[in-house]
Every structure is written in structure tokens, then in C-alpha cells.
């Protein structure tokens, strides 16, 4: 039987409980076989105090370790250049030709979709599962509103019947945590405790990450 595989990309700079909880919510709601967590390259000009890709990957591995359905997938970091999601999905489609692929997107990311490279091809390769996120303040752009009708699924049973092409809005636990806000907090000496798994917070402290002059 075809497996249901979730794909959750992000900067994970650092991974936090918002990411992990919503990924688990989706895994449970859809009875997914696995969720692949895929850290992306970060453009060098981004405002982050020298946290390397290797460290983001280690933090993600620590954060995901206790959930058997989470698989950390470093395929984008193994390439020298930033990857387009459409190319990553194509690679996954080739690697898992028989599986149903579901691309997990926070609502803010979904609203920004028309700015993504060849975004209309994404749904040829996977279903899109949109997770509501608190305080995003973003709205669905018109182009997306025009694209959506006819693609929206009502439930997971519909997603299971085809390999790609549908969009499902999934309610998830509302956790108002963002990596940007976390980095701000850590930069001024604040604590990350209870906002991320303990193992990730310990790692950040041990390596002096995200604090001014740390790295
Ligand atoms: P930043 O604040 O640096 O942009 P982020 O916390 O949004 O980071 P990313 O790693 O860039 O995290 O996000 C990866 C994906 O996770 C995106 O689709 C984003 O919408 C989603 N996401 C992040 N935090 C949450 C949350 N608290 N609830 C729901 N979705 C989330």
C-alpha cells in the first residue's frame, strides 16, 4: 500500500516547538507514515549570527529524535546552492515513486507561494497541506485565490486516493512561536526553555549560539 509521506521544509534556525507540534498534528490527523523535515540553505545575507547549516541540522536531529515518524532529511544541505522546493519535490517524487507526498506549509508560506519558483508545478508533484498559524497577518493573494478552486480537498481520504494535486487546510495547535522572535530573545540573553525541546536548548547553550558574539 502507498505510504503517506509529509514533507516539511524550513530554515529551522533554530527548530522550535511550533514546528514540531504542528508537524505531529498533521502526522496524527492524516495518519502519515512519516514526516521528512528538510532544512534549507540560508542566503548568506540573512540576519543570523553565524549559525552554520551543520548546527541547524544537529539541532533539528536533536529536536526530532523522540518522534519515530520524524525523519531528518539533509538533501538540500548536501547541495552547494539553495534549492528550489519544486526541485526538491521532484527528487523526492523520484525517490518515492509509489508514495503520496504531502507538502506541509504554514499559512504564511502558502500566502507567499506565488513568489516561489515554478510554484504551479508543486501540486503536480505533491498535495499541499496548509497549517493555520497565529498572528501571521498575511492574506491569500488574488492569484492564489484564483488557482485554488477545484483543488481543495475536504478530508484526508481524498488525499489518499491520488498522489498529488490537492490542497487541504488542516487545523493545528496554535503556538505563537517563531524562530525570528526566538533569536531576538536569545540575542538579549533570554531563555529558550519551554519554547523548544530541552535537548535543543541545551545544545544552544553549550555552543553559545544566537547570543551576541556567540557562534
Ligand atoms: P522565521 O521566523 O525565521 O521565518 P519560522 O519560525 O517561520 O522562522 P521556518 O523554519 O522558516 O520557521 O518555517 C518553516 C515552516 O514552518 C513554514 O512553513 C512556517 O510557516 C512553519 N511554521 C513555523 N512556525 C510555525 C508555528 N508556530 N505554527 C505553524 N507553522 C509554523
What's the pLDDT tens digit per position in 153-198?
Answer: 999 999 999 999 999 999 999 999 999 999 999 999 999 999 999 9
Distance 8 CA to ligand 1 centre (A): 10
Query: What's the average model confidence in pLDDT over 115-131?
Result: 96
Spacing of C-alpha 59 from chain mean position: 14
Q: Are 204 and 186 in contact (CB under 8 A)?
A: yes
Percent of the chain, pLDDT > 90? 85
According to DSSP, the β-strands at 70-72 and 34-39 are parallel
CA-nearest of 138, 168, 144 to 154 is: 168
Residue nearest to atom 19 of ligand 1 (CA): 106
Return the SS3 of 189. coil
Residue 215 has pLDDT above 60, yes or no: no
Residue 211 has pLDDT above 90, yes or no: no
User: In terms of DSSP H, where are the helices of 31-155?
Assistant: 53-64, 85-95, 107-111, 122-125, 142-147
* pTM exceeds cut of 0.80: yes
Residue nearest to atom 15 of ligand 1 (CA): 10
Atom of ligand 1 nearest to the CA of 18: 27
Q: What is the pLDDT of residue 99?
A: 96
Q: What is the pLDDT of residue 2?
A: 84
Query: What's the average model confidence in pLDDT over 66-94?
Result: 95
Give the residue, out of 178, 180, 192, with the most ligand 1 atoms within 8 A of its beta carbon, to mutate for a pocket test: 178
Distance 179 CA to ligand 1 centre (A): 7
Residue 113 has pLDDT above 70, yes or no: yes
pLDDT band at 208 (very low <50, low <70, confident <90, very high): very high
Strand-pairing partners, residue 71, are: 36
- Tens digit of each residue's pLDDT (9 = 90 or more) over 8-30: 999 999 999 999 999 999 999 99
Ligand 1 pocket, Cβ-based, cut-off 6 angstroms: 10-13, 18-19, 22, 105-106, 108-109, 131, 133, 175, 177-180
Q: Compute the distance between CA of residue 153 and CA of residue 69 in angstroms, rounded to an integer.
A: 24
Q: What is the ipTM of this complex?
A: 0.94
pLDDT band at 132 (very low <50, low <70, confident <90, very high): confident
Supply the mean pLDDT for the chain.
93
Q: What is the pLDDT of residue 213?
A: 58
Amino acid at each position: 500500500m502507498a505510504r503517506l509521506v509529509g514533507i516539511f521544509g524550513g530554515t529551522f534556525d533554530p527548530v522550535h516547538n511550533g514546528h514540531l507540534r504542528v508537524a505531529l498534528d498533521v502526522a496524527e490527523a492524516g495518519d502519515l507514515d512519516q514526516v521528512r523535515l528538510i532544512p534549507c540553505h540560508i542566503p548568506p545575507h540573512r540576519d543570523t549570527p553565524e549559525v552554520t547549516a551543520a548546527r541547524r541540522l544537529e539541532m533539528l536531529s536533536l529536536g526530532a529524535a523522540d518522534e519515530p515518524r520524524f525523519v531528518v532529511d539533509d538533501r538540500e544541505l548536501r547541495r552547494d546552492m539553495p534549492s528550489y522546493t519544486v526541485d526538491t519535490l521532484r527528487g523526492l517524487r523520484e525517490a518515492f515513486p509509489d508514495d503520496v507526498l504531502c507538502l506541509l506549509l504554514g499559512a504564511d508560506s502558502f500566502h507567499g507561494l506565488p513568489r516561489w519558483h515554478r510554484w504551479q508545478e508543486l501540486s503536480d508533484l505533491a498535495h499541499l497541506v496548509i497549517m493555520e498559524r497565529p498572528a501571521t497577518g498575511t492574506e491569500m493573494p488574488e492569484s492564489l485565490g484564483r488557482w485554488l478552486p477545484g483543488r481543495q480537498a475536504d478530508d484526508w481520504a481524498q488525499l489518499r486516493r491520488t498522489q498529488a494535486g490537492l490542497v487541504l487546510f488542516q487545523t493545528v495547535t496554535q503556538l505563537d512561536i517563531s524562530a525570528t522572535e526566538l533569536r531576538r530573545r536569545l540575542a538579549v540573553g533570554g531563555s529558550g526553555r519551554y519554547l523548544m525541546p530541552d535537548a535543543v536548548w541545551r545544545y544552544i547553550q553549550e555552543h553559545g549560539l544566537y547570543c551576541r558574539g556567540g557562534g
